[in-house]
């Protein structure tokens, strides 16, 4: 196009600006960083009585912002038809918020749509250019953007690699524990160490590094909650501006911390610092950084349409909600500002059948060999797509609608619903990723990238089910949520029947997975006919999680007769471990206890089959005894004894002086405060205080630790994994704290045969021919007897 420059590059940022309407940042293929601008009018809608809409029209005609008003019709998903609306088009995106809030405050009884949608989602819906998309842009020499065209889709498996410049900054210690003394700054192959004092040289050095490297991403640790606020304070105090933003015309955006309640938990989100023209991501404040890291964040930005800095800090629920909003915008469906719909009236009996949730078949307690773990691939999202579950399709009594199992409702499957349209490409891409991961060797770097993406998708797909029934979700409806669980229960029952028809024993069912065994079935091929049959009868994707050499289903701590649905561990045929619900999976377990438990499990995992487990017990018990000796001798670092617990209330709301409450009170006395949803860290110590808050300035010596309390926790963790082998906590305590030496078990080990169902591997009276060397009447002898025997 004559007079225009053209370039290809990646869309990395966009935001509203009163001077330039919409600012768009492009990281060009040739390395240039382009700040472009373009007009981008935005429309929101109001619906209600015609007289009220006329009043709103007259009110907005006198608004100082340039507006265009028009009457029309738009499709409302819940009404199932087009409804009359007043369209309010705002010329400058920066004026949208003020105009809308003036209208909503003056006319609160009207229903508003498309009023608070993230700018990047609107831009993606209108132009097709989404966050991090590779685009072709045409612009005037003045920087006015005339054309933008996305050259790819969010569903590509190999998008062009993003040539980012990253500047990483990290203090030497956690600021909540102790005052940092220096910063480590890394950019490419360069690493710098900067002292925090004196302050002026620090600011000068950081300013120079930002200007020299001009990073696209400022990657920090504790950058939201401490580092950047502290640097901005010092910059203001010393009157030395820091070029944190790439756009010099913009200020740094700070968002306050918040506390909210979600899925039975109190969640705390720290304050945030967002930059313009470049990104800031705080690893310590990023959502699920430990699961999928930077690669996962970038992929989430692509598929959700959210800005990188936003998606890094928001929950997967916000991601799936954004994807639904983007689908609605592209389909011409109104996005409600506040959802107005309520649950349909039903009888108590109907509610009883509808609100049953997922199916759980309690496991058979004990140790089992040659067990197949079978999982439905993203069961609930797959049900939504396969059965077309969406707010507008459930309860639609149209010709050809299908009866939902157990519910007195029907679902229309004639036209794809909004939720299935959103989920289908996500499901297909995740399945393809899993195929690619399975075909790549462990050393291939692409495997790690794909695994991060798959993990990010997993969280989106897990959350989409909850959002379907969430009362504040834009497109949530409880009847659709209940329809999914009804189909889920039916699906799992069909799978159970298919397994039993083929002679398998079903050990456990848990919402979307099952564990089965059959005499003679120990290889993957032995279970393939079952997988084929389940896929045939359920019409949903199924996968073999793996074949366990052995797996142990654990009982309740309070009652050994009661199973626990999601508390087990096992070893696959390749030697890899899978654990759920044990101490090493809990965040409140001291790190050294988690390591000891996992070391014991890894040692047990070396057994070729369940019958070889007894030979591994002496080594596992030796690990336990050495850990106990190290603890008593003060050889365990104090930092490895820290207990971490999430706060669910303020200090004033605690009714008893629990360890967490004591630690919180100590922090308050030292001038430090924690809010619900944050984690309090403490040590168990001897003396009247009993605990010592870890984030106090002083750290107690190892000899001050309450060794007996930690020994109790250690023995409990060990007994949780050794109990299926017949070793209770009391026995372990006698061995670890007494003077006994383990020589063997007082009987023979036998697996399953002759035992009650679910007992698995247990202890039987000693027969004439003992498979294990035993000395004396028991397997426990004092050390003196052992020495005498050796002599």
Pick the closest to residue 461 from 323, 310, 645, 650 (CA basis). Answer: 323
Determine the Cα–Cα distance for residues 422 and 320; give it in Å rounded to an integer.
9
CA 319 vs. chain centroid, Å, equals 11
Angle at 451 between CA 447 and CA 456, to 5 degrees: 155
Q: Using CB atoms within 10 Å of the CB of residue 118, give its burial: 0 to 12 exposed, 13 to 18 middle, 19+ buried.
A: middle
pLDDT of residue 743: 47
Q: Please state, in angstroms and rounded to a whole number, the distance separating the CA atoms of residues 219 and 284.
A: 10
CB 3 within 8 A of CB 129: no
Domain CATH for 69: 3.30.342
Strands 166-171 and 217-220: parallel
Residues 136 and 39 in one domain: yes
**Residues 443 and 554 reside in one and the same domain:** yes
Q: Are residues 303 and 367 in the same domain?
A: no
Q: State the Cα–Cα distance between residues 345 and 354, nearest whole angstrom.
A: 13
Q: How far is CA 161 from the centre of its chain?
A: 25
**Residue 342, pLDDT score:** 61
What CATH number did the domain enclosing 255 receive? Answer: 3.30.420.10
By residue range, what is the domain housing residue 237? 166-315
- Residue with the two structure tokens 């365990």: 636
DSSP character for 161? P
Mean of pLDDT over the chain? 88
Instruction: Write down the pLDDT at residue 729.
Output: 86
Cis amide leading into 419 (omega within 30): no
- Same domain? 65 vs 181: no
The confidence band for 468, taking pLDDT boundaries of 50, 70 and 90, is confident
Nearest-angstrom CA–CA distance, 715 and 713? 6
Q: Number of folded domains in the chain?
A: 3
Q: At residue 776, does pLDDT exceed 80?
A: no
**What pLDDT score does 611 carry?**
86
Please indicate, yes or no, if residue 759 is contained in any of the structural domains.
no
359 pLDDT higher than 90 = no
Averaged pLDDT, 184-194:
93
Average pLDDT over residues 624-645: 94
User: Do 109 and 189 belong together in one domain?
Assistant: no
Q: Say what the pTM is.
A: 0.88
User: Which of 287, 282, 165 lies closest to 229 in space, CA to CA?
Assistant: 282
Average pLDDT over residues 97-112: 96
Please give the pLDDT value at position 1: 57
Q: Residue 763: beta bridge partners?
A: 749
Based on the fold, state whether residues 74 and 180 are members of the same structural domain: no
**In this structure, are residues 357 and 510 in contact, taking their beta carbons and an 8 Å threshold?**
no
Residue 347's pLDDT band, with cuts at 50, 70 and 90, is low
What is the share, in percent, of the chain residues with pLDDT greater than 70? 91
Residues 6 or more apart whose Cβ sits within 8 Å of residue 125: 326, 329, 330
CATH code assigned at 418 = 3.90.1600.10
Q: Which residues contact 336 (CB under 8 A, 6 or more apart)?
A: 78, 111, 112, 113, 474
Yes or no: say if 530 and 517 are a contact pair by the CB < 8 Å rule. no
Distance CA 448, CA 443 (A): 9
Q: How far apart are CA 551 and CA 568, in angstroms?
A: 7
The DSSP line for 738-764 is SSEEE---SS-EEESTTSPTTT-EEE-
- How many CA within 13 A on the CB side of residue 701? 3
For residue 685, tell me if it sits in a domain: no
Q: Are residues 227 and 376 both part of a single domain?
A: no
> Quick one: pLDDT at residue 500?
96
Q: Report which of residues 786 and 403 the model is more confident about.
A: 403
Strand, helix or coil for residue 18 = coil
Q: Please, which residues have CB within 8 angstroms of residue 392's CB and are 6 or more apart in sequence?
A: 77, 78, 80, 417, 418
Among candidate residues 581, 612, 635, the one where a domain is terminated? 581
542 beta partners: 376
Position 256 pLDDT exceeds 50: yes
Domain stops at, among 249, 283, 315: 315
* 771 found inside a domain: no
Of 48, 23, 293, give the one whose Cα is nearest residue 139.
23
534: pLDDT strictly greater than 90:
yes
> Which residues lie closer than 8 Å to 192 by C-beta, 6 or more apart?
184, 185, 186, 205, 209
- pLDDT for 767 equals 30
Polymer length of the chain: 791
Contact (CB, 8 A) for 677 and 647: yes
The answer to whether position 763 is within a domain reads no
| Tokens 């038809």, located at residue | 81
Q: Has residue 699 been placed in a domain?
A: no
Q: Which of 47-51, 236-240, 527-531, 606-610 has the lowest mean pLDDT?
A: 606-610
Q: Residue 669: pLDDT above 80?
A: yes
* Helix 445-469 × helix 478-501 angle, to 10°: 120
* Domain end position, chosen among 105, 123, 150: 150
pLDDT of residue 737: 73
With respect to residue 345, please indicate whether it lies within any of the assigned structural domains.
no
237 domain-assigned: yes
Which two tokens mark 774?
């035993």
Whether residues 146 and 179 fall in one domain: no
Is the residue at 467 inside a domain?
A: yes
Q: Are residues 412 and 544 in the same domain?
A: yes
Tokens 């045929």 found at: 573
Q: Which residues 6+ apart lie within 8 Å of 616 measured at CB?
A: 603, 604, 606, 607
pLDDT attached to residue 75:
95
* Neighbouring-strand partners of residue 543: 375
Of 277, 257, 204, 275, nearest to 234 (Cα)? 204
State residue 771's pLDDT score.
Answer: 32
Alpha carbon distance 560, 758 (integer Å): 12
Same domain, 146 and 189: no
Residues 144 and 185 in one domain: no
Residues 278 and 138 reside in one and the same domain: no
């Amino acid at each position: 196009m004559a007079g225009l420059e053209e370039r290809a590059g990646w869309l990395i940022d966009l935001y509203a600006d009163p001077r330039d309407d919409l600012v768009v940042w492009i990281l060009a293929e040739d390395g240039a960083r382009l700040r472009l601008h373009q007009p981008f009018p935005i429309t929101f809608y109001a619906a209600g009585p015609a007289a009220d809409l006329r009043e709103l029209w007259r009110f907005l005609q006198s608004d100082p912002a340039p507006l265009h008003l028009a009457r029309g019709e738009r499709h409302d998903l819940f009404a199932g038809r087009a409804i009359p609306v007043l369209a309010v088009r705002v010329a400058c995106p920066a004026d949208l918020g003020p105009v809308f809030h003036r209208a909503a405050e003056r006319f609160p009884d009207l229903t508003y749509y498309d009023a608070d949608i993230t700018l990047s989602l609107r831009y993606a819906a209108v132009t097709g250019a989404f966050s991090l998309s590779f685009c072709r842009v045409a612009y005037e020499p003045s920087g006015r953007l005339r054309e933008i065209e996305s050259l790819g889709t969010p569903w590509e498996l190999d998008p062009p690699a993003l040539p980012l410049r990253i500047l990483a900054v990290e203090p030497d210690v956690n600021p909540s524990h102790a005052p940092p003394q220096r910063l480590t700054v890394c950019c490419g192959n360069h690493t710098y160490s900067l002292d925090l004092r004196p302050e002026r040289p620090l600011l000068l050095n950081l300013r120079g590094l930002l200007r020299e490297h001009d990073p696209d991403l400022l990657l920090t640790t504790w950058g939201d909650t401490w580092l950047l606020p502290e640097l901005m304070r010092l910059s203001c105090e010393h009157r030395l501006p820091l070029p944190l933003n790439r756009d010099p015309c913009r200020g740094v955006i700070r968002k306050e911390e918040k506390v909210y309640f979600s899925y039975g938990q109190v969640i705390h989100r720290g304050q945030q610092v967002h930059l313009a023209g470049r990104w800031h991501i705080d690893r310590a404040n990023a959502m699920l950084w430990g699961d999928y890291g930077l690669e996962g964040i970038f992929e989430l930005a692509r598929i959700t349409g959210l800005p990188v800095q936003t998606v890094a800090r928001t929950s997967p629920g916000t991601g799936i909600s954004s994807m639904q909003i983007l689908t609605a915008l592209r389909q011409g469906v109104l996005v409600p500002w506040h959802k107005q719909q309520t649950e349909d009236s039903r009888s108590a009996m109907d509610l009883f059948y509808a609100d049953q949730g997922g199916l759980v078949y309690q496991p058979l307690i004990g140790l089992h060999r040659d067990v197949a773990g079978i999982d439905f691939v993203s069961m609930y999202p797959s049900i939504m797509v396969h059965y077309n579950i969406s707010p507008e399709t459930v309860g639609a009594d149209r010709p050809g609608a299908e009866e939902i199992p157990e519910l007195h409702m029907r679902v229309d499957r004639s036209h794809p619903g909004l939720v299935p349209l959103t989920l289908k490409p996500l499901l297909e891409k995740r399945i393809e990723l899993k195929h690619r991961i399975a075909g790549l060797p462990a050393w291939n770097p692409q495997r790690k990238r794909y695994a991060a993406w798959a993990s990010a998708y997993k969280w989106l797909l897990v959350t989409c089910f909850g959002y379907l029934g969430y009362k504040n979700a834009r497109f949530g409806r409880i009847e659709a949520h209940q329809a999914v669980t009804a189909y889920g229960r039916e699906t799992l029952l069909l799978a159970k029947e298919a397994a039993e028809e083929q002679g398998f024993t079903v050990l456990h069912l848990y919402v979307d997975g099952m564990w089965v065994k059959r005499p003679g079935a120990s290889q993957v091929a032995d279970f393939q006919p079952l997988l084929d049959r389940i896929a045939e009868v359920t019409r949903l994707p199924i996968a073999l999680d793996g074949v366990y050499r052995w797996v142990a289903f654990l009982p309740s701590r309070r009652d050994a007769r009661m199973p626990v649905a999601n508390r087990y561990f096992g070893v696959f045929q390749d030697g890899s471990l899978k654990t759920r619900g044990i101490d090493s999976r809990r965040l409140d377990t001291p790190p050294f206890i988690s390591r000891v438990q996992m070391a014991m499990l890894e040692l047990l995992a070396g057994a070729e089959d369940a019958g070889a487990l007894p030979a591994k017990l002496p080594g596992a018990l030796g690990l336990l005894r050495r850990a106990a000796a190290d603890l008593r001798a003060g050889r365990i670092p104090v930092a490895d004894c820290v207990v971490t617990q999430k706060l669910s209330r303020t200090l004033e709301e605690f009714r008893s002086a629990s360890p967490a409450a004591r630690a919180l009170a100590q922090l308050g006395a030292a001038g430090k405060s924690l809010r619900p949803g944050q984690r309090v860290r403490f040590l168990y110590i001897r003396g009247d205080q009993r605990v010592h808050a870890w984030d106090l300035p002083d750290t107690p010596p190892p000899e001050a630790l309450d060794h007996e309390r930690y020994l109790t926790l250690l023995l409990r963790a060990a007994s949780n994994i050794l109990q299926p082998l017949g070793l209770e906590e009391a026995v372990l305590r006698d061995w670890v704290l007494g003077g006994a030496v383990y020589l063997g078990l007082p009987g023979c080990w036998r697996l399953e045969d002759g035992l009650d169902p679910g007992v698995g591997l247990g202890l039987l009276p000693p027969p004439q021919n003992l498979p294990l060397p035993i000395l004396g009447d028991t397997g426990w002898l004092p050390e003196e007897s052992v020495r005498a025997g050796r002599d």
